Structure 1
Amino acid sequence: MTAVKGSAEPPRNSHKIDEDPQAAWQLFNANWLIIAVMGSLLALGLTSTNLRLEPIAFGTTLAIAAALLAVAYHHRLTRGDRTDPKLFFSLGTIGQVILTCAIVGPLSYVAGAIGYPLQDQALLSVDRALGLDPEPIIRYVNDHPWLAIILSRAYGLIKWPLLGIPIVLVLTARYARLQLFMLAMSVALAVAIAISVFVPAIGTYYGLQLPPARYPNIDTSVYAGQLRDILALRDGSLRELGLFKLAGIVSFPSFHAASAVLYMWALWPVRAVGGIAATINILMIAATPVIGAHYLIDLVGGILLAVASILAATSYLKWLKRTQRTSAASAPDWSQKLVNCANGSQTLSP
């Protein structure tokens, strides 16, 4: 495989690791392993349950992802050393984002269909043991309609950074940071879905036995979708998964909270963007227990999951670079051997 343009020379700017296309390429490839595992689990889950994917939406999404990835790989394979990292990593990463989203939504439903006992009361008990009862928070937001509107809009911002982050980081030549973000996000998604198998929950309104109508100023449509689909999964009445109709049914750990931390981390080094991203994503975290009906321990779990995923991705990159340095140091210096051979002091044997 030919090297990405610019990988032969060490970066010279302040964000050295971030602009290293070769490191980014290795991380990009590593992310395929996690995507493949999640895709395989989805296929296995669909064959072992009564669930099936609505073919048109899923097929169209896969086709879009495949087209973007095909253009990216064609450019890399045909241009060789003249590969444009901006073109490859923008199209390739967005293709991976779309493919990942197409897999994890249905996979979360497969996990929910396993049917472990609901843990709403356990999660609520943890909240109250920590002195973080969600009911006063919900009541406060309902009593301040302007705050309810802000939080409702903030909660819905989870999707846009998935396309915006690749564009911003590629334009600022932070290729490796982009791929670290992608790898950390994939790890967080996989772990969150795995945990949700054993800690399924519907949400705070269900755990508190509160009718959403009691809080008319709060948009409870997200909770309504969770309640509808989780109960339908558990009684077997939900069988067809329409990709664009899926609700977010993972309660603990909260992926809204995890994604907010991942988004902030990804964009923080970008001047004039990092501060704005932090403000927006803090609002998204604040909206999660009210609009998303998450228990407060869900947020703690999501934040810790994001931090652990970032550490795992950066540790993997450090391991790659350490392995490469070790390999380079142990490789024979053939130029020196040729000189020694010419002087008669050494043969060319390995």
Structure 2
Amino acid sequence: MSRDLANLRCALPIYTVCNVIAIVAITLLSKLRLDVASFGAVFFTVPLLVVGALFTRRRVMGTASLILEVLCSGIVLSVVVLLASYLAISLDRPLVDAALADADRWLGFNAFDIVTMVNNMPVLSSMLMYAYSSFSLQLLVLPILLIVLGSPASAYTLVLSYGLAGVVASLISIWFPAVGAHISYDLASQRLPSVNLYYGYAFLSEFNAVRANSEFTLSLATAQGILTFPSVHTAVAIICTVASFGQRVLRYPVLTLNVLMLISTVTHGGHYLVDVIAGIVVATLALVTTLVIARSRIPGIVALT
């Protein structure tokens, strides 16, 4: 086993467990309550994955063990990021949409003009909608494909970088809550038959409720991605592209998909351009941190894994 993989294989579960402990403690002290029944599938699946990973590791079933490990950490970190995002927005700090829109104007960018242009290209608009919707599917499928294709270190890089980026984005969003460009520019009132504005508005009821209510119950059935700055979709697009670039069979399909996802963050996700820029910065920091962890020299780490 390579040192990179050994380091990441140790770091990912440690990071996951530490985040679970922290997020549970913070949630208990917050106004957030969980609809436990709605998380039933997670509570059932994760222990099975843990048992399966331990069993296959003892049986020296390398590929199966790696897949089960990244799936387990990926699912848990996705829940952690979801909870962290709701906790961040629940602090009900003043909205910063005006400042974000001003920053876009300073950069010479107008989201309304871009959405209007895409509205005149129905085929492109549909492609962008599918690309934006691929967020969860990429996080689930790409790590498995990378392991099967012989790049397990890249799979661990993807999952750990996502976990880092999601938590950092949640922390940043405490001071930058925003409803996004679609709502800010009132795009729902415009004639845009080719652009599906679902993602730019679907989160609004959850966003407003978790801010306004003295106690808020989070159900996995109705949960939404409620962060706008930084854009987590952008961070995931960058992370998935970088993690997959070493595999020729994945390189260009994933690159194409995530270029479309980057564009769709503005056209279909309701993000400002500065959200996207911030998402790129967060993804870069997460990937660099993961690279440092992978290249670290920790005596005995290969033997431990």
User: TM-score scaled by structure 2?
Assistant: 0.92
Structure 1 runs, 4 residues or longer, greater than 6 Å off: none
Change (3 A) 1:67 1:271: same
User: How many Å separate the matches in 2 of 1:270 and 1:149?
Assistant: 27
User: How many Å separate the matches in 2 of 1:310 and 1:87?
Assistant: 25
Shift of 1:238: 7.0
The aligned residue for residue 303 of structure 2 is none
User: TM-score scaled by structure 1?
Assistant: 0.81
8 Å Cα contact 1:205-1:212 kept in structure 2 = no
8 Å Cα contact 1:105-1:243 kept in structure 2 = no
1:291-330, aligned counterparts within 5 Å? 291-320=268-297, 323-324=298-299
The aligned residue for residue 91 of structure 1 is 68
Residue 159 of structure 1: which of 131, 136, 159 is its match?
Answer: 136
User: How many Å separate the matches in 1 of 2:189 and 2:45?
Assistant: 38
User: How many Å separate the matches in 2 of 1:32 and 1:72?
Assistant: 12
Structure 2 residue matching 1:273: 3-state secondary structure: helix
Residue 39 of structure 2: which of 58, 79, 102 is its match?
Answer: 58
- What residue identity is the alignment partner of 2:165? A
Which protein, 1 or 2, shows the higher relative CO under an 8 Å CA cutoff with sep ≥ 6?
Answer: 2
Shift of 1:208: 2.5
The aligned residue for residue 189 of structure 1 is 166
- What residue identity is the alignment partner of 1:225? A
The aligned residue for residue 225 of structure 1 is 202
Shift of 1:237: 7.2
1:206-221, aligned counterparts within 5 Å? 206-221=183-198
Shift of 1:209: 4.1
8 Å Cα contact 1:262-1:306 kept in structure 2 = yes
Q: How many residues align?
A: 300
Shift of 1:200: 0.7
Shift of 1:42: 2.6
Residue 252 of structure 2: which of 256, 267, 275 is its match?
Answer: 275
8 Å Cα contact 1:229-1:238 kept in structure 2 = no
Moved more, 33-42 or 163-172: 33-42
User: How many Å separate the matches in 1 of 2:218 and 2:200?
Assistant: 18
Q: Does 1:139 align with 2:120?
A: no
Shift of 1:57: 2.6
**Deviation sequence 1:20-70 (CA, Å, 0-9, x none):** 2x5423312212333234323332332223321111231321320221121
Structure 2 residue matching 1:240: 3-state secondary structure: strand
Which structure 2 segments of 5+ residues have no match?
Answer: 301-305
Q: Which structure: larger Rg? A: 1
- What residue identity is the alignment partner of 2:228? S
Aligned-pair Cα RMSD in Å: 1.9
1:1-150, aligned counterparts within 5 Å? 7=1, 20=2, 23-76=4-57, 78-79=58-59, 83-150=60-127
Shift of 1:285: 0.8
